[in-house]
């Protein structure tokens, strides 16, 4: 590149490239090309942007070399290329530079003279517009879902993610890898955070098939951990913080048993769960209504266990529901007895279960059984093949994807607005919708794995973190 185009391209050694129509497109890494090809397939072009059209109309007519960069997307990615002092200075000024939309460098040659012009164009931030904020390379292919975890040092969020070699990574909100830790197998379910020492410093607790882990934010094992399980775990552990007193209980399903540990890694005395009728296949979940507690889990034969804090059955339902799926939601009533448990099923029906034995099963949509179901802020959200549905009294909607939605959608509230997103693996895309059912500008975005979403900086901006199969972690930012 430097030999052909000069020193302007001196840093591009052996770049990746793709031929498209009459263009050769170069990039420093494969992931950038994947994102570009995804945009081209979705017909997202510069000439369709009103902002770019306004820019193009005001540029000088002809130039021999023209470089155009979108500053909000480009600036953060330059930090690793700069010296420490310059990078720190740029990072401190990123917020004030966020309204600089375009940077344009033009070179025009006339005989022995050359003319160089540089323009910076400022625009107000675009509402609900997605852009790629940063990428980070892992040592192996990621596996499972990224997960946002609170950072007690700055009250913002970090990202936890595992790879196919069973290494757990902790990544900062800016894309820096703090550490990676070898585990003895894949994490089952999700990571939970606890304050073991009651000093407002958070630790991570999770389990693999053979081991119960507690890890601090430096990646070190907490004293008393890891704990070798006496039998293989058959589901993710439940973490209970009774009365918000930080007197945690770590309850791990191991076959027909529920093992109860404290945060010192010791068995809890007084736990009286005997034995299930079959393997327990769901994470034990704790619900509380006006001081009344219930712990819920499911066996492989469809037996629903509703326990008190001692592990004794509080309510008994004789009916077994073998097709029931393993995540429960609570629709809170005036009391625990008047509340309802909600769960999906393999048939696509939604089950509504009263703790005192009443069980109802309905289709949320007769023509579309629910493959994946969540209950969020009074909304029933589910997917069927390539369709996403939001059942809401005020603003119901449905949307189509390019391929089947094979993992559970995610929903959240940000700035008092409702958002829902889903990942379609076959189409390698994530789509995000607002409460009006509109696809957010800039979506779909490229992804080859599941995602998590939230506000990494705990500000007005929403982030989506996902990855590609070559080990690249991708962070998108919604402004």
Render pLDDT for 212-261 as a digit per residue (tens, 0 to 9).
999 999 999 999 999 999 999 999 999 999 988 899 999 999 999 999 99
CB atoms within 10 A of CB 357: 12
What pLDDT does residue 72 have?
62
User: Do the Cβ atoms of 23 and 33 come closer than 8 Å?
Assistant: no
The radius of gyration of the chain's CA atoms, rounded to the nearest angstrom, is 26
374 secondary structure, DSSP code: E
What pLDDT does residue 124 have?
62
- Give φ, ψ of 206 to 5 degrees: -165, 170
What pLDDT does residue 92 have?
78
Shortest CA distance to 162 belongs to which of 126, 129, 188?
188
Greater model confidence, 30 or 288: 288
Strands 156-163 and 142-151: antiparallel
Residues 462 and 134: their CA atoms lie apart, in Å, by 14
Residue 42 in any domain: the answer is yes
What pLDDT does residue 126 have?
46
Could you tell me the two tokens for 129? 């517009």
**Confidence band for 24, pLDDT divided at 50, 70 and 90:** confident
Alpha carbon of residue 336 to chain centroid: 31
- Which range of 1-5, 126-130, 437-441 scores highest in mean pLDDT? It is 437-441
Structural domain of 69: 2-122
Q: What is the largest CA-CA distance in the chain?
A: 92
Residue 86 in any domain: the answer is yes
The single residue listed with the structure tokens 């975890």 is 149
Mean pLDDT of 165-185: 97
Helical H runs in 42-185? 50-58, 71-74, 84-93
The partner residues of 72 in beta bridges, in order of sequence, read: none
Residues 310 and 295: their CA atoms lie apart, in Å, by 10
Shortest CA distance to 434 belongs to which of 453, 451, 456?
453
The whole-model pTM stands at 0.76
Q: Where are the beta strands (DSSP E) in 262-343?
A: 285-289, 292-298, 304-307, 313-316, 329-331, 340-343
What pLDDT does residue 28 have?
74
Could you tell me the two tokens for 391? 């059942």
Residue 296 in any domain: the answer is no
When mean pLDDT is compared across 14-18, 157-161, 252-256, 407-411, the lowest value belongs to 14-18
What pLDDT digit, counting tens, does each position of 333-359 carry? 999 989 999 999 999 999 999 987 789
Residue 11 in any domain: the answer is yes
Residue 112 in any domain: the answer is yes
Residue 336 in any domain: the answer is no
Residues 229 and 31: their CA atoms lie apart, in Å, by 40
Residue 441 in any domain: the answer is no
Residue 458 in any domain: the answer is no
What pLDDT digit, counting tens, does each position of 411-460 carry? 999 888 999 999 999 999 999 999 999 999 889 999 999 999 999 999 98
Task: Using CB atoms within 10 Å of the CB of residue 404, give its burial: 0 to 12 exposed, 13 to 18 middle, 19+ buried.
Answer: middle
Q: How far apart are the first and last CA of the chain?
A: 35
H or E segment and range at residue 30: helix 30-41
User: Do the Cβ atoms of 305 and 315 come closer than 8 Å?
Assistant: no
**What is the total count of domains within the chain?**
1
């Amino acid at each position: 590149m430097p030999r052909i185009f000069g020193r302007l391209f001196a840093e591009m050694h052996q770049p990746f490239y793709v031929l498209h129509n009459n263009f050769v497109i170069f990039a420093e890494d494969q992931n950038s090309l994947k994102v570009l090809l995804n945009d081209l397939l979705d017909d997202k072009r510069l000439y369709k942007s009103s902002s770019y059209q306004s820019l193009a109309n005001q540029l000088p007519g002809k130039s021999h070399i023209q470089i155009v960069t979108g500053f909000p997307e480009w600036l953060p990615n330059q930090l690793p290329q700069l010296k420490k002092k310059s990078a720190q200075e740029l990072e401190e000024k990123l917020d004030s530079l966020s309204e600089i939309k375009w940077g344009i460098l033009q070179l025009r040659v006339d005989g022995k003279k050359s003319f160089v012009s540089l323009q910076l164009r400022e625009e107000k931030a675009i509402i609900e517009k997605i852009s790629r904020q940063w990428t980070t390379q892992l040592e192996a292919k990621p596996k499972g879902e990224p997960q946002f975890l609170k950072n007690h040092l700055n009250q913002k969020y970090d990202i936890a993610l595992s790879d196919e070699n069973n290494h757990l990574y902790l990544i900062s909100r800016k894309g820096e890898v703090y550490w990676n830790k070898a585990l003895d197998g894949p994490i089952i379910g999700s990571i939970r955070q606890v304050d073991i020492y009651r000093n407002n410093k958070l630790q991570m607790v999770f389990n693999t098939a053979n081991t119960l882990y507690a890890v601090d934010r430096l990646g070190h094992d907490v004293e008393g951990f890891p704990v070798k399980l006496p039998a293989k775990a058959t589901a993710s552990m439940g973490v209970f913080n009774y009365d918000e007193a930080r007197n945690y209980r770590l309850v791990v399903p191991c076959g027909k048993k529920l093992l109860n540990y404290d945060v010192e890694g010791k068995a809890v005395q007084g736990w009286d769960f005997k034995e299930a009728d079959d393997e327990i296949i769901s994470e034990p979940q704790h619900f509380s209504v006006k001081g009344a507690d219930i712990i819920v889990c499911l066996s492989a034969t469809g037996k629903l266990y509703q326990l008190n804090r001692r592990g004794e059955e509080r309510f008994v339902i004789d009916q077994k529901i073998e097709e029931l799926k393993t995540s429960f939601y609570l629709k809170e009533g005036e009391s625990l007895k008047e509340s309802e448990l909600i769960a999906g099923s393999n048939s696509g029906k939604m089950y509504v279960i009263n703790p005192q034995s009443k069980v109802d099963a309905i289709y949320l949509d007769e023509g579309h059984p629910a493959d994946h179901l969540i209950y969020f802020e009074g909304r029933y959200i589910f997917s069927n093949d390539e369709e996403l549905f939001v059942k809401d009294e005020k603003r119901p909607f449905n949307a189509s994807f390019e391929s089947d939605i094979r993992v559970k959608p995610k929903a959240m509230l940000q700035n008092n607005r409702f958002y829902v997103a889903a990942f379609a693996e076959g189409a390698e895309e994530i789509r995000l919708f607002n409460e009006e059912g509109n696809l957010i500008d800039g979506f779909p975005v490229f992804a080859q794995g599941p995602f998590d979403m939230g506000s990494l900086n705990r500000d007005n901006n929403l982030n989506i973190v996902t990855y590609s199969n070559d080990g690249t972690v991708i962070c998108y930012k919604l402004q």
